[in-house]
Structure 1
Amino acid sequence: MKYAFFSLILVNVVFFLWESNILGRGSVSSQSYKELRLPRALDPITLLSERSGSSEKPAGMVLASVSGSQVKPEKIKETTPIIESASVQEKGDVAEIPLSSKGGAQSSCFQWGPVTEESQAREVLNLVKAESDQAAVVRKPSDLTDGWWVLFPKAHDMEAARANRNMLLEKGVTDLWLFDKGTLQGAISLGLFKGLNRAELAQQRFTEKGIITEVVPRQVRGDAYWVRIPWSRPASELNEVLKSTDSKQAAGSSPSLVPCD
């Protein structure tokens, strides 16, 4: 029984040594070394820095270069819409040229005015009648210039406006009026004149005293006279005809030549 027990232990030791590859290296050693070389099949995943001296290119390198070339066309496609949008913008600028030319299109009718005196309108009518036999005098509500203000400019608020008034009083200007409401609120009137020439002379006197002023027309709403002139020729020719009249210099009026409404 004792010999059987030792025999079993011996068999186990031999089996352990055989499993540990300690016994039997003679013919099996080459086979075991071949099995250890199997991991070399994974050489393509070796780092490039470790294979810099090798002239052989792994298959992975070829795939990487192909994937890199596939990215470049995508970048070009991303920039293409920007180029197209710029060309569209250039086309839009060209399309706007006819719109601007419409602004200078020749009108087939002009009207001269407004004036408050019918006699002024009749003078102009007599001048243009020979060139446009359908010209006529019409009367309609209009914005009229009824005198000219000489103003000390508006202040930002009423407190500053009152300070401006005190400054003018200290300079000896006593004929003044501070507007406390309306479109001229904050401005100070230094005079209202019927004609533009008189207003400009007054402005010059204030300038000599070191007081900055501005001349502003006094606008009122009322009925006025216009000369309606059908005209098929350039407007410059009609302006030449109107140059021979001094009606534009009439006091209290600011007539102009505009397309018919």
Structure 2
Amino acid sequence: MTETADPPPSSDDVRESRQRAGRAIRDLSHAFIGRHASVEQIDRLSEVLEGITAELWPQDHRSRFDAFDRERDIDYPQGRFTHDFDDRPVSGTASPYGLDLELHRVGDEIEALVTLRSAHEGAPGRSHGGVVAALFDDVFGFVLGVIKQSAFTGELTIRYHAATPLFSELACRVRFDHQDGRKIYLVGELTERSSGNLIATAKATFIAVDPEMFARLTAERPPPPDESSSPTA
């Protein structure tokens, strides 16, 4: 089995289909968690999903490096913007785990608007704290694009000031703080838009990396395993 990259971005039909499928999977997760279903419906859902999964496993592995690499060179415009890394776990439009963010650049800050839903629930009526942490980690990554620096997360600290509500629009706003050698320090906050309440604050240390070294190390990694034979497949 070989590893292949996606068709180039001009293949709009493939990209749009993947984005549609990603959104459908996300909506399915919220419907599955947030609504009652009969045993017959659940069994039918399992059969359909297991059948489609069985069709996909024999296909060639996909490499997401090209999309990741393109993202590094994008200049985010002021105001609302989109990005090309559709598989990015939190902000990707084709990601089954995406949060359906609305992204804005405000000066040198990044603001992500988001409404968390049923599948994000931890305590009743409230988001799981790990979802909030993942949100900050992903949105901090766009600040690296603003300052034009490749880096990885070294440390992420979240302070929760209040319960994170579901079904209410939130604003996650993050920015560059300072840099000390390879260490890049970022800060941000999460607020509820309707009330202005502070939900959480975050600070992160990212470690700068050389893009060429990163590309070389990525190329040297072994191919992904055959997941179709894993216990969970």
**TM-score, structure 1 as length reference:** 0.18
Larger strand share, 1 or 2: 2
Whose helix fraction is larger, Structure 1's or Structure 2's?
A: 1
Q: Which has the larger radius of gyration?
A: 1
Q: Which protein, 1 or 2, shows the higher relative CO under an 8 Å CA cutoff with sep ≥ 6?
A: 1
TM-score computed with the length of structure 2 as normaliser: 0.19
